[in-house]
Structure 1
Amino acid sequence: MRGFTVADKTSAYDREDDEVDDETAVENEAAEVAADPEAADSALDDVDADDADDADDADDADSAGRPAGKPKSKRLFKSAKKAVKAESPALFSPISLRGVTARNRVWLPPMDTYSAVARAGKPTPFHYQHYVSRAMGGFGLVCFEATAVAPEGRISPCDLGLWDDDQIAAFQWIVDGVKEAGAVAAIQLNHAGRKGSTGCFSAGYEGGSVPQDDGGWQTVAPSPIAFDNLAAPRELTVDEIHGIVDAFRAAAVRAVNAGFDVIEIHAAHGYLLSEFLDPLTNVRTDEYGGSLENRMRMLVEVVDAVRGAVAPAVPVFVRISATDWAAGGWDLNQTIATARVLKEHGVDLVDVSTGGILPGVAIPVKPNYQVPFSEQVRVKALVPTTAVGLITKPKQADRIVRRGEADAVQIGRAALRDPYWPLRAADKLGLKPSEAPYQPQYIRGAY
C-alpha cells in the first residue's frame, strides 16, 4: 500500500480570515451534534477553530521544552512563522492508496441527503449538483452518502441504494462528472439495521419510524433491542446474516461497474455493522455475539466479501465509531484491536468517527473532539485514517495532517455552506492559483 507515511510537520499558516463566523450559529451546531450525533453522520465538523490556533501553537512550543508560563519571544515567533510559510501545506499534498491517488487531503464525507424521492434508491439531478459541485470546488475525494445494499437496509425510504443492477446507470453520469472534475469518487455502502425505516424531511415521520403501510418496513438487528422510540427490530438469523454479507458483495460490484474508485463500508453510528460490534446492542450467544472476535465477525466477513469482489487496485475503507460514549459499550481499545484485524483483511483506510449507538449520551463536543481517536487508531493500528469532527478552518485542517493525526481531513457541514471550501483554503494556506485545484474555466476568478 502506497501513500502511508508519517505526515510532514511543516505547513503554511492561515492569513487572517476575510469573514467572521456567526458565533451563535456555531454554538447551535455544536449543541445539535451533542444532542444527536447520528444526525451529523459524517458531517461532524463545523465550529470556528481559528481563535484557538495561536494557543495551539503555544502548546506546541511548550511541549517542545519551553518552561510553562514563560512567554515566547515575539521576534522568534514571527521568524518561525515566516519559515513555516515557505513550506507547502500538507493539506494539499496528494495521497495514494492502492491504485488510486487523491489530489489532496481535503475530502467530502458521506452526508445523508434523503433525496431519492422516488423511493427507488436512484440518485437524481440534485445528487449530480451536490457531488459534482464539490468536486469542481477542489475536494480530493468525494464520498457519496450511505447507500443501502438492500431495500430494508435503507435509513429512510428516500435513501440511495445499489441493491439492483437497474440502479447502476443512475449513478454513472454523476460519478463521471465527479471524476472529470478531478476528484476521486467513493461510495459508502450501508445497512441501517434497527435504525432503518425512519422518517425524514422528504418522507415525513421525522424522529420516528415510517409505518409499513406508508412505505416502511420491519427492521432487523443482531438482537431485538429498539433504538429510542423507533419500532423494535427483529433478530437476524445466521442465514440472514450471510445473505446481508452477500448483499454487500453484490453492491460493491455494482459500485465498481458504476465507476466508483473507492468502496467504503459503513460500520459506525449505530447502523447494522456497528450494532454487531457493540455489546450494548449485541447480546447474541452464537458465533456473532459475546467476545470481541465474535462481535466483529460480520464486519470482517463483509470486508472479505467486498475485498474479494473488487480489483486489487480498488481501495476499501471502513468507517467506524471509535467510541460510543457509553459505559460498558464500544470504546477506543476495541476500535484499535478491530482496526488491526481489518488491516490484515485488506482494509486500506479507517474513517474514524464516534457515537450513534445510543441516544442521549454526553459527548464533549468541541473543535477537533474526534481527532485524537483518529490519531490513536493511525499510530496503534498502523493504518491510514481520516479525521472528522468540528473541523472548519484551513489552518486547523492543515495542522491535523501536518502533525500526523490523520492522513486526510473530512469537511462536512462547512462544505454544505461552501462547495468551494478547498479553493478558499488553498488561498489562505498560501498556494498560488496555478497550484490550487481550480477548474480551468474558473481560474480567472481565483482568490
Structure 2
Amino acid sequence: MSVSSLFEPLSLRHGKPMPNRLMLAPLTNRQSRPDGAPTDDDEHWLKLLGEGGYGLIHTCAATVLAGGRTFIGQLGIHCDDFLPGLTRLAKAAGAHGALTSVQLHHGGYRVDPELGGIPLPASNGLVSGIGAISVEQIASVRDSFVKAAVRAAEAGFDGVELHGAFGFVLSQFLSPLLNTRNDQYGGDLENRARIVFETINAVRTALGADFQLGIRLSVDRHGLKVEEIRDVVGEIMRQQQVDYIDLALWDSAQRIGQGSKEGRKMLELFTSLPRHGVRLGTAGKIMSASRASELLEEGCDFVLIGRAACIHPDIPRRIAANPHYVVPSLPVSEQFLQAQGLSTPLIDYLKTWPDFVKN
C-alpha cells in the first residue's frame, strides 16, 4: 500500500469524516495553569499541530474532575470557567480542516495528591488509607465524563475521546488485578466493563448523532488480560456507539508475550474483529511514512502519531511532500525543539523522557 493511502478520507459513524488517516495521539505536555485553565502555550501548540495537516487532533488528557489531576500542568475541562480558553483551543486545532477532540481523563487511583488529586481506587488496598469508591461515586465519575463532553461540544470540538488506558479510572475497572470488587462493577468481565459501557452510552445519549466519540484502551499491563480486552473491543464495535477505538500499544509491532497466542502480533487480535463501521487505529513508535502506511496494510483504519509529533509537529505535511520521510534520530537538542516551535514547559517535560533530548 502506498503512502498516498494515508491521505484518503475516512468516514466515521457520526459527524464529519477525517480528511486523512493520520491522527494526532493525545500527548501530555504540562502547559496548562495549576488549576487546569488553558494557556497561550496550549493554544500555540494546537495551532502548530493544526497547521501540520492531521486528520484529527486530540488535546492532551483533560481532567473531568478537579480531583482527577494526575500530571503537572494538566489541562482541565471540569469547569465552565474554562470554556473561553477551550473555545480558543478548538479553533486553533481545527483552523486548517482537522477534526478536533478533547481526551477526557480521570486518574482514578493514580492521581497525584500533591497536585490536588483525590484518589478514586476501584478496590480496597490500591491506595493506602483510602477504600474502594462507592457505587454512588462511580455514577458521579460517569456523569463527570458526560458533563465534560458537553463542555467540549459547547467549546466547538467535534468530539471527545474517553481515556480508558494505563490504569486510569476506566482502565482500572477492566483490570482483574486492580478491580477486586464483589458488586455489579467487579467480578466477571461484564461487570468490570460496566462503567466503560455506561460512560460510552451516557455520552452518546447526551451529545446525539453528530458528535464524535472515541475511546483509548490499553491491551496489557496494569493487570489487563489481552483476551479480555479483545472481547471488550469486540463488544464496543458491536454496539456501534463509538466512532473509533485507539489502541494504546507501547509498540505497534509488539507481539504477545505469553498465553495461547504467544508470539502472535498483538495488533492482529484486534484487526481481525468484525468492526460494524467502528474504526480502529493504533499508536506505538510510528516514526516513518513507510511504517504508517504498513499499519494500514496490517488492517488499521488510521494511525496515531505520538512522540514523533514532538519532533516535527507537521509530520502529515512532511509525509505528503516526501513519501520516504523518517523522523530524525533521537536524541535531539533543545535548540532543535525550540526551532520547531515547542514551548519551554513542553521541552522541560520531554527532558524527562529517556534519550529524547540531548543533555
TM tier relative to shorter chain: 0.7 to 0.9
Establish whether residue 189 from structure 1 lines up as the match of residue 104 from structure 2. Answer: yes
Contact map agreement 1:374 1:386 (CA 8 A) in 2? no
Contact map agreement 2:281 2:302 (CA 8 A) in 1? yes
Write the letter of the residue equivalent to 1:109: A
Residues 367 and 185 of structure 1: CA distance in aligned 2, closer, same or farther (over 3 Å): closer
Establish whether residue 369 from structure 1 lines up as the match of residue 254 from structure 2. Answer: yes
1:129-278 to structure 2, matched below 5 A, reads: 129-156=44-71, 158-197=73-112, 210=114, 215-226=115-126, 233-278=130-175
Distance 1:317 1:120 in 2: 26
Residues 370 and 104 of structure 1: CA distance in aligned 2, closer, same or farther (over 3 Å): farther
Deviates more, 1:269-278 or 1:332-341: 332-341
Deviates more, 1:280-289 or 1:160-169: 160-169
Please, which of 23, 30, 41 is the counterpart of residue 114 of structure 1? 30
Write the letter of the residue equivalent to 1:195: R
Distance 2:130 2:302 in 1: 36
Which secondary structure state, in structure 2, belongs to the residue aligned with residue 160 of structure 1?
A: coil
Deviation string, structure 1 residues 180-238 (Cα, Å, up to 9, x no partner): 122111111011101111xxxxxxxxxxx52xxxx4343111113337xxx66541000
Contact map agreement 1:268 1:321 (CA 8 A) in 2? yes
Deviates more, 1:339-348 or 1:253-262: 339-348
Distance 1:165 1:330 in 2: 35
Deviation string, structure 1 residues 311-348 (Cα, Å, up to 9, x no partner): 20112111101122x7xx32222112111222305122
Q: By how many angstroms is 1:242 displaced?
A: 0.7
Q: By how many angstroms is 1:381 displaced?
A: 4.2
Larger radius of gyration: 1
Residues 143 and 374 of structure 1: CA distance in aligned 2, closer, same or farther (over 3 Å): farther
**Which residue in 1 is equivalent to 2:279?**
384
Establish whether residue 351 from structure 1 lines up as the match of residue 342 from structure 2. Answer: no
Contact map agreement 2:288 2:324 (CA 8 A) in 1? no
Establish whether residue 405 from structure 1 lines up as the match of residue 305 from structure 2. Answer: no
**Which residue in 2 is equivalent to 1:11?**
2
Distance 2:240 2:195 in 1: 13
Write the letter of the residue equivalent to 1:11: S
TM-score (ref. length: structure 2) = 0.82
Q: By how many angstroms is 1:430 displaced?
A: 8.2
Q: By how many angstroms is 1:369 displaced?
A: 2.4
TM-score (ref. length: structure 1) = 0.66
Residues 398 and 345 of structure 1: CA distance in aligned 2, closer, same or farther (over 3 Å): closer
Q: By how many angstroms is 1:367 displaced?
A: 6.2
Contact map agreement 1:192 1:272 (CA 8 A) in 2? yes
Deviation string, structure 1 residues 144-196 (Cα, Å, up to 9, x no partner): 01111101112135311111211111110121122112211111101110111
**Which residue in 2 is equivalent to 1:419?**
313
Residues 342 and 136 of structure 1: CA distance in aligned 2, closer, same or farther (over 3 Å): same
Q: By how many angstroms is 1:294 displaced?
A: 0.3
The answer to which structure, 1 or 2, has the higher relative contact order (CA under 8 A, 6+ apart) is 1
Establish whether residue 126 from structure 1 lines up as the match of residue 41 from structure 2. Answer: yes
RMSD over equivalenced CA pairs, Å: 2.1
Contact map agreement 1:224 1:235 (CA 8 A) in 2? yes
Q: By how many angstroms is 1:429 displaced?
A: 2.1
1:312-351 to structure 2, matched below 5 A, reads: 312-324=209-221, 329-343=223-237, 344=239, 346-351=241-246
Which secondary structure state, in structure 2, belongs to the residue aligned with residue 173 of structure 1?
A: helix
Contact map agreement 2:109 2:126 (CA 8 A) in 1? yes
Give structure 2 stretches of 5+ with no counterpart.
Answer: 257-264, 326-359
Write the letter of the residue equivalent to 2:181: R
Q: By how many angstroms is 1:129 displaced?
A: 1.2
Write the letter of the residue equivalent to 1:333: E
**Which residue in 2 is equivalent to 1:64?**
none
Distance 1:321 1:250 in 2: 24
**Which residue in 1 is equivalent to 2:346?**
none
Distance 2:240 2:324 in 1: 40
Which secondary structure state, in structure 2, belongs to the residue aligned with residue 225 of structure 1?
A: coil
Distance 1:103 1:95 in 2: 7
Write the letter of the residue equivalent to 2:253: N
Which secondary structure state, in structure 2, belongs to the residue aligned with residue 265 of structure 1?
A: strand
Distance 1:367 1:162 in 2: 30
Identity of aligned residues (%): 30
Distance 2:317 2:245 in 1: 26
1:39-54 to structure 2, matched below 5 A, reads: none
Deviation string, structure 1 residues 26-65 (Cα, Å, up to 9, x no partner): xxxxxxxxxxxxxxxxxxxxxxxxxxxxxxxxxxxxxxxx
Please, which of 2, 18, 32 is the counterpart of residue 102 of structure 1? 18
Write the letter of the residue equivalent to 2:122: P
